[in-house]
Amino acid sequence: MNKNTKKILIVFSGGQDSTTCLIHYANLYKEIYCITFDYNQLHKSEIHSSRFISKYFGVKKHIFIDIKFLQNLSKSSLTDKNISICNNHPLNSLLPSTFVPGRNILFLTLSSIYAFNNQIDFVVLGVNTIDFSGYPDCRNEFIKAMNHVVQIGMDCQISFKVPLMNLSKAEIWSLSDYWNSSKFILNHTITCYKGLIGNGCGKCQACIIRYEGFNKWKSNPSYYMKKLKEKFNFFD
């Protein structure tokens, strides 16, 4: 396969979704960059995991951005041990406490600045609206609006890619399996809100969503591969 010569930047957490994006585009693009943010999340295991994974797949450059100040501005159980991950958000009962207000706004803004200054064509975010935790900044309308703002504000043609947006978790597992990487995803990525690698705690919402998707996929992999192929452009 002739790989695309344009540059692509993955907003990379070391979790299942961003790692699936990395693996997917590593098979399609010659120059892969990763950007990981330290927003003083309670566990640092995802940062360590992201460093290992990016090296494993040979990305061209992986940068780490310190935005610990976000903890002082934004309430979340991911940054405040006094807020339970099982509760609703203290400022909006319709949202889970794991929502970090402004996080994806900041991630996409800073990623776009980096992309602009390094002549990178695409910024990838592994967000999803089918099996997700109810975050408003994971919706497609938000991504499109942010992309429009960036293109106007920097007079550029940087495009945001959200390849997993309309996929179920079972279909995301199918995508990693398509690239023969489902075992790697299972063993080396962190989804757990408690920062436990691989199997996680098995109790938080992120673990529940991850393993419900995994069990569905394992129960009928050919069915979910068929569903994936109906919805997904593998060469986009």
DSSP line for 10-26: EE--SSHHHHHHHHHHH
Q: Which residues are annotated binding-site positions for Zn(2+)?
A: 192, 201, 204, 207
Residue 115 CA to residue 95 CA, distance in Å, equals: 31
CATH number for the domain that contains residue 30: 3.40.50.620
Q: Which residue segment(s) compose the domain that 129 sits in? A: 4-169
Residue 210 CA to residue 190 CA, distance in Å, equals: 10
Q: Is 157 within a domain? A: yes
Helices in 98-188 by DSSP H: which ranges?
Answer: 103-117, 140-153, 169-178, 182-188
- Looking at the 3D structure of the chain, how many domains does it have? 1
Q: Is 92 within a domain? A: yes
Q: What are the backbone angles phi and psi of residue 117, rounded to the nearest 5°?
A: -80, -10
Q: Is 199 within a domain? A: no
Residue 236 CA to residue 234 CA, distance in Å, equals: 6
Residue 180 CA to residue 186 CA, distance in Å, equals: 12
Q: Tokens 């159980």 correspond to what residue?
A: 77
Cβ-based burial of 76 (10 A; exposed 0-12, middle 13-18, buried ≥19): buried
Q: Is 142 within a domain? A: yes
Strands in the chain per DSSP E: 4-11, 29-38, 61-66, 88-89, 92-96, 122-124, 159-161
Q: Give the Cβ contact number of residue 127 at 10 Å.
A: 23
3-class secondary-structure state, position 62: strand
Can you read off the two tokens belonging to residue 40? Answer: 């003083």
Residue 180 CA to residue 203 CA, distance in Å, equals: 27
pLDDT reported for residue 19: 98
**This prediction's pTM:** 0.95
Residue 35 CA to residue 57 CA, distance in Å, equals: 14
Q: Is 15 within a domain? A: yes
pLDDT reported for residue 80: 92
| pLDDT tens for each residue of the chain, 236 residues long | 789 999 999 999 999 999 999 999 999 999 999 999 999 988 889 899 999 999 999 999 999 999 999 999 999 999 999 999 888 999 998 999 999 999 999 999 999 999 999 999 999 999 998 867 789 999 999 999 999 999 999 999 999 999 999 999 999 999 999 999 999 999 999 999 888 998 899 999 899 999 999 999 999 999 999 999 999 999 88
Can you read off the two tokens belonging to residue 79? Answer: 């940054």
Q: Which residues are annotated binding-site positions?
A: 12-22, 192, 201, 204, 207
Q: Is 21 within a domain? A: yes
Q: Which residues are annotated binding-site positions for ATP?
A: 12-22
